[in-house]
A = this chain, B = another copy of it.
Amino acid sequence: MLTYDLSKRKGSSIYEYLYKCIKEDILNGKILAGDKLPSKRTFAKHLGVSTATVENAYSQLLLEGYVTSVEKSGFYVNQLDNSKQKAKEKRPKPLEEEFEYSFFSDLRSNRLQRANFPFSTWARLMRYTISSHDEALLKTVPFNGIYELREALCNYLADNKGMKVEPYQIFVGSGTEYLYARLILLFRSEKWAIENIGNQKIANIYDMYNAAWSFVDTDENGPLIDSLVKENSNIVHISPANNFPLGNIMQVKRRQELLAWAAAGSDRFILEDDYDSEFRYKGAPILPVYSMDTEGKVIYMNTFSKTLIPSLRISFMVLPPALVERYLKKLSFYSGTVSSIEQYTLAHFIRDGYYERHINHMRNYFRSIRDDLISEIEHSPIKEIATIIEPSAGTHFLLKLDTEKPDCRLKAEIKAKDIDVAALSDYLLTKNRDTHTLVINYCGIHRDRIHETVMRLSEAVLAPFT
Protein backbone atom coordinates (compact mmCIF):
# COMPACT_ATOMS: atom_id res chain seq x y z
CA MET A 1 0.00 0.00 0.00
CA LEU A 2 1.04 3.60 -0.59
CA THR A 3 3.16 4.84 2.28
CA TYR A 4 4.21 8.40 2.97
CA ASP A 5 6.34 9.77 5.73
CA LEU A 6 3.97 12.26 7.30
CA SER A 7 6.70 13.62 9.55
CA LYS A 8 8.21 15.27 6.45
CA ARG A 9 5.18 17.46 5.89
CA LYS A 10 6.68 20.58 7.53
CA GLY A 11 4.08 23.33 7.70
CA SER A 12 1.37 21.63 5.63
CA SER A 13 -1.68 20.04 7.17
CA ILE A 14 -1.71 16.21 6.94
CA TYR A 15 -4.43 16.08 4.29
CA GLU A 16 -2.65 18.68 2.16
CA TYR A 17 0.64 16.80 2.39
CA LEU A 18 -1.04 13.54 1.53
CA TYR A 19 -2.80 15.10 -1.47
CA LYS A 20 0.51 16.55 -2.72
CA CYS A 21 2.34 13.20 -2.35
CA ILE A 22 -0.31 11.28 -4.25
CA LYS A 23 -0.47 13.98 -6.93
CA GLU A 24 3.29 13.82 -7.38
CA ASP A 25 3.19 10.03 -7.68
CA ILE A 26 0.43 10.22 -10.30
CA LEU A 27 2.35 12.79 -12.33
CA ASN A 28 5.68 10.99 -12.13
CA GLY A 29 4.13 7.64 -13.01
CA LYS A 30 4.59 5.80 -9.72
CA ILE A 31 0.83 5.41 -9.56
CA LEU A 32 -0.53 4.39 -12.96
CA ALA A 33 -3.66 5.39 -14.81
CA GLY A 34 -6.52 3.06 -13.91
CA ASP A 35 -4.99 2.22 -10.53
CA LYS A 36 -7.44 2.20 -7.68
CA LEU A 37 -6.49 4.24 -4.64
CA PRO A 38 -6.66 2.40 -1.30
CA SER A 39 -10.03 2.65 0.40
CA LYS A 40 -10.27 5.63 2.69
CA ARG A 41 -10.71 3.60 5.85
CA THR A 42 -7.87 1.14 5.17
CA PHE A 43 -5.51 3.88 4.04
CA ALA A 44 -6.32 5.99 7.10
CA LYS A 45 -5.60 3.09 9.41
CA HIS A 46 -2.38 2.30 7.52
CA LEU A 47 -1.12 5.89 7.89
CA GLY A 48 -2.45 6.32 11.40
CA VAL A 49 -4.65 9.29 10.47
CA SER A 50 -8.39 9.91 10.52
CA THR A 51 -10.62 8.80 7.66
CA ALA A 52 -11.70 12.44 7.24
CA THR A 53 -8.09 13.37 6.49
CA VAL A 54 -7.82 10.83 3.68
CA GLU A 55 -11.24 11.88 2.44
CA ASN A 56 -10.12 15.52 2.20
CA ALA A 57 -7.01 14.53 0.26
CA TYR A 58 -9.05 12.41 -2.17
CA SER A 59 -11.63 15.22 -2.61
CA GLN A 60 -8.92 17.61 -3.63
CA LEU A 61 -7.52 15.09 -6.15
CA LEU A 62 -11.04 14.64 -7.50
CA LEU A 63 -11.62 18.39 -7.71
CA GLU A 64 -8.52 18.89 -9.79
CA GLY A 65 -9.16 15.89 -12.00
CA TYR A 66 -6.37 13.54 -10.91
CA VAL A 67 -8.82 10.78 -9.97
CA THR A 68 -12.38 9.75 -10.76
CA SER A 69 -14.85 8.55 -8.17
CA VAL A 70 -16.77 5.42 -9.08
CA GLU A 71 -19.83 4.96 -6.92
CA LYS A 72 -19.66 2.11 -4.44
CA SER A 73 -16.24 1.16 -5.74
CA GLY A 74 -13.67 3.87 -4.97
CA PHE A 75 -11.22 6.33 -6.54
CA TYR A 76 -9.41 5.53 -9.80
CA VAL A 77 -6.44 7.38 -11.25
CA ASN A 78 -7.13 9.24 -14.51
CA GLN A 79 -5.15 8.88 -17.73
CA LEU A 80 -2.83 11.89 -17.78
CA ASP A 81 0.15 12.95 -19.80
CA ASN A 82 3.10 12.54 -17.46
CA SER A 83 5.90 12.81 -19.99
CA LYS A 84 6.45 16.50 -19.34
CA GLN A 85 6.99 16.12 -15.65
CA LYS A 86 9.71 13.55 -16.19
CA ALA A 87 11.63 15.90 -18.44
CA LYS A 88 14.47 17.57 -16.64
CA GLU A 89 12.97 20.75 -15.34
CA LYS A 90 14.40 23.71 -17.17
CA ARG A 91 15.24 26.47 -14.75
CA PRO A 92 15.46 29.79 -16.50
CA LYS A 93 18.89 31.31 -16.30
CA PRO A 94 18.27 34.51 -14.34
CA LEU A 95 19.35 37.67 -16.09
CA GLU A 96 21.49 40.01 -14.08
CA GLU A 97 19.26 42.53 -12.39
CA GLU A 98 20.42 45.88 -13.68
CA PHE A 99 21.18 48.03 -10.75
CA GLU A 100 21.29 51.63 -11.79
CA TYR A 101 24.77 53.07 -12.02
CA SER A 102 25.27 56.41 -10.27
CA PHE A 103 27.50 58.88 -12.09
CA PHE A 104 29.58 61.48 -10.30
CA SER A 105 27.28 63.90 -12.06
CA ASP A 106 24.18 62.99 -14.01
CA LEU A 107 23.41 65.82 -16.44
CA ARG A 108 20.90 63.76 -18.39
CA SER A 109 18.16 62.33 -16.17
CA ASN A 110 15.43 64.04 -14.20
CA ARG A 111 16.51 62.49 -10.93
CA LEU A 112 16.15 65.02 -8.11
CA GLN A 113 18.38 65.87 -5.19
CA ARG A 114 17.34 64.87 -1.71
CA ALA A 115 15.57 67.52 0.40
CA ASN A 116 13.92 69.02 -2.64
CA PHE A 117 10.60 67.38 -1.97
CA PRO A 118 8.48 68.05 1.14
CA PHE A 119 8.33 64.38 2.12
CA SER A 120 6.99 65.07 5.61
CA THR A 121 4.09 67.17 4.29
CA TRP A 122 3.32 64.52 1.71
CA ALA A 123 3.42 61.78 4.38
CA ARG A 124 1.11 63.81 6.59
CA LEU A 125 -1.41 64.37 3.79
CA MET A 126 -1.32 60.68 2.91
CA ARG A 127 -2.03 59.78 6.52
CA TYR A 128 -4.85 62.30 6.52
CA THR A 129 -6.23 60.83 3.29
CA ILE A 130 -6.18 57.31 4.72
CA SER A 131 -7.99 58.37 7.87
CA SER A 132 -10.55 60.69 6.26
CA HIS A 133 -11.33 59.01 2.94
CA ASP A 134 -11.31 55.35 3.98
CA GLU A 135 -14.87 54.95 2.67
CA ALA A 136 -13.87 56.21 -0.78
CA LEU A 137 -10.71 54.09 -0.81
CA LEU A 138 -12.87 50.95 -0.61
CA LYS A 139 -14.39 51.74 -4.00
CA THR A 140 -12.88 51.38 -7.44
CA VAL A 141 -11.05 54.38 -8.90
CA PRO A 142 -13.19 56.43 -11.31
CA PHE A 143 -11.88 56.06 -14.90
CA ASN A 144 -11.36 59.83 -15.20
CA GLY A 145 -9.91 60.43 -11.74
CA ILE A 146 -11.09 61.41 -8.26
CA TYR A 147 -13.48 64.40 -8.39
CA GLU A 148 -11.59 66.31 -5.66
CA LEU A 149 -8.36 66.18 -7.67
CA ARG A 150 -10.04 67.30 -10.88
CA GLU A 151 -11.64 70.18 -9.00
CA ALA A 152 -8.33 71.23 -7.45
CA LEU A 153 -6.73 71.12 -10.90
CA CYS A 154 -9.47 73.37 -12.33
CA ASN A 155 -8.77 76.00 -9.72
CA TYR A 156 -5.03 75.72 -10.23
CA LEU A 157 -5.38 76.06 -14.02
CA ALA A 158 -7.68 79.08 -13.64
CA ASP A 159 -5.35 80.86 -11.22
CA ASN A 160 -2.05 80.04 -12.90
CA LYS A 161 -2.73 79.35 -16.57
CA GLY A 162 -5.72 81.52 -17.46
CA MET A 163 -7.65 78.34 -18.35
CA LYS A 164 -11.39 78.03 -17.79
CA VAL A 165 -11.96 74.35 -17.28
CA GLU A 166 -14.68 72.26 -15.64
CA PRO A 167 -13.85 69.06 -13.71
CA TYR A 168 -15.65 66.86 -16.26
CA GLN A 169 -13.09 67.89 -18.89
CA ILE A 170 -10.17 66.52 -16.89
CA PHE A 171 -8.77 62.99 -17.22
CA VAL A 172 -6.17 61.72 -14.80
CA GLY A 173 -3.77 58.92 -15.79
CA SER A 174 -0.54 57.25 -14.71
CA GLY A 175 1.87 59.21 -16.89
CA THR A 176 1.67 61.25 -20.08
CA GLU A 177 2.63 58.18 -22.12
CA TYR A 178 -0.48 56.48 -20.81
CA LEU A 179 -2.61 59.50 -21.76
CA TYR A 180 -1.03 59.62 -25.23
CA ALA A 181 -2.04 56.01 -25.69
CA ARG A 182 -5.62 56.93 -24.71
CA LEU A 183 -5.63 59.71 -27.30
CA ILE A 184 -4.26 57.42 -29.98
CA LEU A 185 -7.22 55.11 -29.31
CA LEU A 186 -9.58 58.10 -29.31
CA PHE A 187 -8.28 59.26 -32.68
CA ARG A 188 -7.96 55.90 -34.35
CA SER A 189 -8.28 57.11 -37.93
CA GLU A 190 -6.60 60.49 -37.65
CA LYS A 191 -3.12 61.50 -38.71
CA TRP A 192 -0.72 62.92 -36.16
CA ALA A 193 1.95 65.52 -36.77
CA ILE A 194 5.17 65.50 -34.76
CA GLU A 195 7.74 68.30 -34.89
CA ASN A 196 10.92 67.09 -36.57
CA ILE A 197 13.00 67.98 -33.53
CA GLY A 198 12.50 67.01 -29.91
CA ASN A 199 11.16 63.94 -28.22
CA GLN A 200 11.59 60.92 -30.52
CA LYS A 201 9.94 58.72 -27.91
CA ILE A 202 6.56 60.06 -29.02
CA ALA A 203 7.15 58.68 -32.49
CA ASN A 204 7.96 55.29 -30.96
CA ILE A 205 4.67 55.27 -29.10
CA TYR A 206 2.69 56.14 -32.22
CA ASP A 207 4.47 53.37 -34.12
CA MET A 208 3.78 50.86 -31.37
CA TYR A 209 0.05 51.52 -31.76
CA ASN A 210 0.17 51.51 -35.55
CA ALA A 211 -1.05 55.12 -35.52
CA ALA A 212 -0.60 57.21 -38.66
CA TRP A 213 1.83 60.08 -38.16
CA SER A 214 4.45 62.10 -39.96
CA PHE A 215 7.11 64.59 -39.07
CA VAL A 216 6.32 68.17 -40.00
CA ASP A 217 8.73 71.00 -40.76
CA THR A 218 9.32 73.45 -37.97
CA ASP A 219 11.02 76.75 -37.40
CA GLU A 220 11.91 78.35 -34.06
CA ASN A 221 8.18 78.92 -33.46
CA GLY A 222 7.10 75.32 -33.89
CA PRO A 223 5.27 73.53 -36.71
CA LEU A 224 4.75 75.32 -40.02
CA ILE A 225 1.13 75.49 -41.15
CA ASP A 226 2.05 74.71 -44.77
CA SER A 227 3.72 71.51 -43.69
CA LEU A 228 0.68 70.46 -41.65
CA VAL A 229 -1.54 71.02 -44.67
CA LYS A 230 0.86 69.25 -47.01
CA GLU A 231 1.12 66.22 -44.72
CA ASN A 232 -2.66 66.18 -44.35
CA SER A 233 -2.31 65.96 -40.57
CA ASN A 234 -5.27 66.27 -38.20
CA ILE A 235 -3.62 66.54 -34.86
CA VAL A 236 -0.47 68.41 -34.14
CA HIS A 237 1.72 67.91 -31.12
CA ILE A 238 3.28 71.08 -29.66
CA SER A 239 5.12 72.36 -26.56
CA PRO A 240 4.69 76.09 -27.04
CA ALA A 241 5.88 77.26 -23.63
CA ASN A 242 9.27 75.62 -23.85
CA ASN A 243 10.00 73.61 -26.93
CA PHE A 244 12.45 70.87 -26.06
CA PRO A 245 15.45 70.92 -26.45
CA LEU A 246 15.91 74.44 -27.85
CA GLY A 247 13.62 76.08 -25.34
CA ASN A 248 11.86 78.38 -27.81
CA ILE A 249 8.61 80.06 -26.89
CA MET A 250 6.00 79.94 -29.60
CA GLN A 251 5.13 83.52 -30.56
CA VAL A 252 1.55 84.67 -30.46
CA LYS A 253 1.29 84.86 -34.25
CA ARG A 254 2.05 81.16 -34.73
CA ARG A 255 -0.32 80.33 -31.90
CA GLN A 256 -3.08 82.15 -33.73
CA GLU A 257 -2.17 80.51 -37.03
CA LEU A 258 -2.34 77.08 -35.44
CA LEU A 259 -5.70 77.85 -33.84
CA ALA A 260 -7.00 79.08 -37.20
CA TRP A 261 -5.67 75.93 -38.90
CA ALA A 262 -7.47 73.77 -36.31
CA ALA A 263 -10.70 75.77 -36.54
CA ALA A 264 -10.79 75.21 -40.31
CA GLY A 265 -11.46 71.46 -39.97
CA SER A 266 -13.88 69.71 -37.65
CA ASP A 267 -11.42 66.83 -37.21
CA ARG A 268 -8.39 69.02 -36.51
CA PHE A 269 -6.97 69.37 -33.02
CA ILE A 270 -3.90 70.66 -31.22
CA LEU A 271 -2.25 68.57 -28.49
CA GLU A 272 -0.45 70.99 -26.19
CA ASP A 273 2.12 69.39 -23.91
CA ASP A 274 2.82 71.99 -21.22
CA TYR A 275 5.63 69.92 -19.67
CA ASP A 276 8.36 71.97 -18.01
CA SER A 277 6.53 75.30 -18.24
CA GLU A 278 6.32 75.82 -14.45
CA PHE A 279 10.02 76.53 -14.07
CA ARG A 280 10.34 79.90 -15.78
CA TYR A 281 13.16 82.05 -14.47
CA LYS A 282 12.43 85.33 -16.20
CA GLY A 283 9.28 87.29 -16.88
CA ALA A 284 5.64 86.42 -16.45
CA PRO A 285 4.33 82.89 -16.99
CA ILE A 286 3.66 81.99 -20.62
CA LEU A 287 -0.03 81.12 -20.83
CA PRO A 288 -0.90 77.99 -22.78
CA VAL A 289 -2.46 78.06 -26.24
CA TYR A 290 -5.45 76.44 -24.54
CA SER A 291 -6.20 79.75 -22.81
CA MET A 292 -6.48 81.48 -26.22
CA ASP A 293 -8.75 78.86 -27.76
CA THR A 294 -12.37 79.86 -28.20
CA GLU A 295 -13.32 77.00 -30.54
CA GLY A 296 -12.59 73.92 -28.41
CA LYS A 297 -9.62 72.79 -30.48
CA VAL A 298 -6.90 72.31 -27.90
CA ILE A 299 -6.13 69.25 -25.78
CA TYR A 300 -3.98 70.32 -22.85
CA MET A 301 -1.61 67.89 -21.12
CA ASN A 302 0.66 68.17 -18.09
CA THR A 303 2.42 65.99 -15.53
CA PHE A 304 3.57 66.08 -11.91
CA SER A 305 6.63 63.91 -12.55
CA LYS A 306 8.89 66.90 -12.88
CA THR A 307 7.25 69.47 -10.60
CA LEU A 308 6.95 67.01 -7.67
CA ILE A 309 8.96 63.80 -7.86
CA PRO A 310 9.62 61.52 -10.83
CA SER A 311 8.47 58.45 -8.88
CA LEU A 312 4.94 59.85 -8.62
CA ARG A 313 3.02 58.72 -11.69
CA ILE A 314 0.27 61.30 -12.09
CA SER A 315 -0.48 63.18 -15.29
CA PHE A 316 -3.66 64.75 -16.57
CA MET A 317 -5.21 66.10 -19.71
CA VAL A 318 -7.98 68.58 -20.40
CA LEU A 319 -10.26 67.76 -23.30
CA PRO A 320 -12.45 70.28 -25.10
CA PRO A 321 -16.17 69.50 -24.47
CA ALA A 322 -16.79 67.85 -27.84
CA LEU A 323 -13.98 65.38 -27.25
CA VAL A 324 -15.16 64.65 -23.71
CA GLU A 325 -18.31 63.22 -25.21
CA ARG A 326 -16.33 61.08 -27.65
CA TYR A 327 -14.07 59.88 -24.84
CA LEU A 328 -16.98 58.88 -22.62
CA LYS A 329 -18.56 56.91 -25.42
CA LYS A 330 -15.40 55.14 -26.49
CA LEU A 331 -13.06 54.82 -23.53
CA SER A 332 -14.94 55.19 -20.26
CA PHE A 333 -15.08 51.43 -19.76
CA TYR A 334 -11.38 51.48 -18.84
CA SER A 335 -10.51 51.45 -15.15
CA GLY A 336 -8.59 54.32 -13.57
CA THR A 337 -4.83 53.89 -13.36
CA VAL A 338 -3.79 56.09 -10.42
CA SER A 339 -4.46 54.87 -6.89
CA SER A 340 -7.05 56.87 -4.98
CA ILE A 341 -4.76 57.47 -2.01
CA GLU A 342 -2.30 59.35 -4.18
CA GLN A 343 -5.02 61.26 -6.02
CA TYR A 344 -6.56 62.51 -2.76
CA THR A 345 -3.13 63.35 -1.36
CA LEU A 346 -2.28 65.39 -4.44
CA ALA A 347 -5.69 67.12 -4.33
CA HIS A 348 -5.00 68.23 -0.75
CA PHE A 349 -1.45 69.22 -1.64
CA ILE A 350 -2.72 71.53 -4.39
CA ARG A 351 -5.75 72.86 -2.51
CA ASP A 352 -3.81 73.72 0.63
CA GLY A 353 -1.30 75.76 -1.37
CA TYR A 354 1.66 73.38 -0.88
CA TYR A 355 1.98 72.81 -4.60
CA GLU A 356 2.41 76.49 -5.46
CA ARG A 357 4.86 76.93 -2.61
CA HIS A 358 6.82 73.91 -3.78
CA ILE A 359 6.96 75.22 -7.37
CA ASN A 360 8.30 78.55 -6.08
CA HIS A 361 10.87 76.80 -3.93
CA MET A 362 12.03 74.62 -6.81
CA ARG A 363 12.14 77.55 -9.21
CA ASN A 364 14.49 79.41 -6.85
CA TYR A 365 16.55 76.30 -6.28
CA PHE A 366 16.94 75.53 -9.98
CA ARG A 367 17.70 79.16 -10.76
CA SER A 368 20.54 79.25 -8.25
CA ILE A 369 21.96 75.91 -9.43
CA ARG A 370 21.79 77.11 -13.02
CA ASP A 371 23.46 80.43 -12.18
CA ASP A 372 26.27 78.68 -10.30
CA LEU A 373 26.80 76.22 -13.11
CA ILE A 374 26.88 78.92 -15.79
CA SER A 375 29.19 81.08 -13.71
CA GLU A 376 31.56 78.12 -13.25
CA ILE A 377 31.60 77.52 -16.99
CA GLU A 378 32.28 81.21 -17.64
CA HIS A 379 35.35 81.02 -15.42
CA SER A 380 36.56 77.62 -16.61
CA PRO A 381 39.26 76.64 -19.11
CA ILE A 382 36.57 76.18 -21.80
CA LYS A 383 35.18 79.71 -21.38
CA GLU A 384 36.73 80.81 -24.70
CA ILE A 385 35.08 78.10 -26.75
CA ALA A 386 31.75 77.88 -24.90
CA THR A 387 28.47 79.57 -25.83
CA ILE A 388 25.52 79.07 -23.54
CA ILE A 389 22.06 79.03 -25.07
CA GLU A 390 19.55 79.45 -22.30
CA PRO A 391 15.89 78.65 -22.53
CA SER A 392 13.92 80.85 -20.16
CA ALA A 393 12.21 77.82 -18.63
CA GLY A 394 12.85 74.16 -17.79
CA THR A 395 15.89 72.63 -16.17
CA HIS A 396 18.44 72.53 -18.94
CA PHE A 397 20.53 74.77 -21.13
CA LEU A 398 22.58 74.17 -24.27
CA LEU A 399 26.37 74.35 -24.19
CA LYS A 400 27.71 74.98 -27.68
CA LEU A 401 31.44 74.25 -28.01
CA ASP A 402 33.79 75.51 -30.64
CA THR A 403 35.49 72.16 -31.14
CA GLU A 404 36.28 69.72 -33.94
CA LYS A 405 35.24 66.71 -31.88
CA PRO A 406 32.24 64.76 -33.10
CA ASP A 407 29.33 64.61 -30.61
CA CYS A 408 29.79 60.92 -29.85
CA ARG A 409 33.46 61.47 -29.04
CA LEU A 410 32.59 64.41 -26.79
CA LYS A 411 30.03 62.36 -24.88
CA ALA A 412 32.37 59.38 -24.56
CA GLU A 413 35.23 61.48 -23.18
CA ILE A 414 32.91 63.16 -20.71
CA LYS A 415 31.49 59.79 -19.69
CA ALA A 416 35.04 58.58 -19.05
CA LYS A 417 35.13 61.32 -16.37
CA ASP A 418 32.05 59.74 -14.78
CA ILE A 419 29.63 62.37 -16.06
CA ASP A 420 26.55 61.45 -18.08
CA VAL A 421 25.33 64.02 -20.60
CA ALA A 422 23.35 64.14 -23.86
CA ALA A 423 24.24 65.97 -27.06
CA LEU A 424 21.79 68.07 -29.02
CA SER A 425 22.13 65.56 -31.87
CA ASP A 426 20.47 62.94 -29.64
CA TYR A 427 17.22 64.85 -30.11
CA LEU A 428 17.51 65.57 -33.81
CA LEU A 429 16.15 63.45 -36.61
CA THR A 430 19.53 63.36 -38.32
CA LYS A 431 21.40 61.99 -35.36
CA ASN A 432 24.67 61.68 -37.22
CA ARG A 433 24.92 65.43 -37.83
CA ASP A 434 27.39 66.82 -35.31
CA THR A 435 26.06 69.73 -33.31
CA HIS A 436 29.06 70.23 -30.97
CA THR A 437 26.39 71.12 -28.46
CA LEU A 438 25.68 69.47 -25.12
CA VAL A 439 22.25 69.48 -23.47
CA ILE A 440 22.99 70.19 -19.80
CA ASN A 441 20.13 69.07 -17.55
CA TYR A 442 21.00 70.49 -14.13
CA CYS A 443 18.02 68.92 -12.39
CA GLY A 444 20.01 66.35 -10.47
CA ILE A 445 23.45 67.86 -9.94
CA HIS A 446 24.84 68.12 -6.39
CA ARG A 447 25.59 71.73 -5.53
CA ASP A 448 28.96 70.73 -4.02
CA ARG A 449 29.93 69.01 -7.23
CA ILE A 450 29.34 71.88 -9.64
CA HIS A 451 32.96 73.08 -9.61
CA GLU A 452 34.44 69.62 -10.00
CA THR A 453 31.89 68.74 -12.70
CA VAL A 454 32.84 71.77 -14.80
CA MET A 455 36.55 70.98 -14.30
CA ARG A 456 36.06 67.40 -15.51
CA LEU A 457 33.90 68.60 -18.41
CA SER A 458 36.64 71.04 -19.44
CA GLU A 459 39.35 68.41 -19.27
CA ALA A 460 37.31 66.07 -21.44
CA VAL A 461 36.45 68.78 -23.96
CA LEU A 462 40.02 70.07 -24.17
CA ALA A 463 41.73 66.67 -24.35
CA PRO A 464 43.67 66.47 -27.63
CA PHE A 465 41.63 65.20 -30.58
CA THR A 466 43.62 62.62 -32.45
Which residues of A are in contact with B by a Cβ distance under 8 Å?
Answer: 15-16, 19-20, 56, 59-60, 63-66, 78-81, 84-85, 87, 89-95, 97, 99-100, 109-114, 116-117, 119-120, 122-123, 126-127, 130-131, 134-141, 147, 164, 166-169, 174-175, 177-178, 181, 185, 188, 201, 204, 208-210, 221, 249, 251-254, 256-257, 259-260, 263, 283-284, 286, 292, 294-296, 305, 309-314, 320-321, 324, 330-331, 333-342, 392
Contact check, A97 vs B296: say whether CB atoms are below 8 A apart: no
**Are B168 and A95 neighbours in the complex by a CB distance under 8 Å?**
yes
Q: Pick the contact of A251: B64, B251, B252, B340 (CB < 8 A).
A: B64
Return the chain B residue nearest A178 by Cβ: B337
A459 to chain B, nearest CB (A): 28
* Residues of B with C-beta under 8 A to A60: 283-284
A110 touches B311 (CB 8 A): no
Q: Which B residues are CB-close (under 8 A) to A311?
A: 136-141, 339-341
Chain B, residue nearest A221 (CB) = B65
What chain B residues lie within 8 Å of A126 (beta carbons)?
A: 123, 126-127, 130, 341
Q: Which of B127, B249, B340 contacts A63 (CB 8 A)?
A: B249
Q: How far is the CB of A391 from chain B (nearest CB, A)?
A: 11
Count this chain's copies in the assembly: 2
How far apart are the CA atoms of A251 and B334 in the complex, in Å? 32
Interface contact B309-A137, CB-CB below 8 Å: yes
Q: Which residues of B contact A313 (CB under 8 A)?
A: 141, 174, 335-339
Q: How far is the CA of A89 from the CA of B338 in the complex (A)?
A: 34
> Can you sample 6 A-B contacts with CB below 8 Å?
A81-B256, A81-B257, A92-B320, A117-B137, A123-B131, A177-B334
A321 CB contacts on chain B under 8 angstroms: 92-93
- Smallest CB separation, A91 vs chain B (Å): 7
9 additional A-B residue pairs with CB within 8 Å, beyond A81-B256, A95-B324, A139-B311? A59-B283, A60-B284, A65-B221, A65-B254, A84-B259, A92-B321, A94-B168, A111-B139, A312-B341
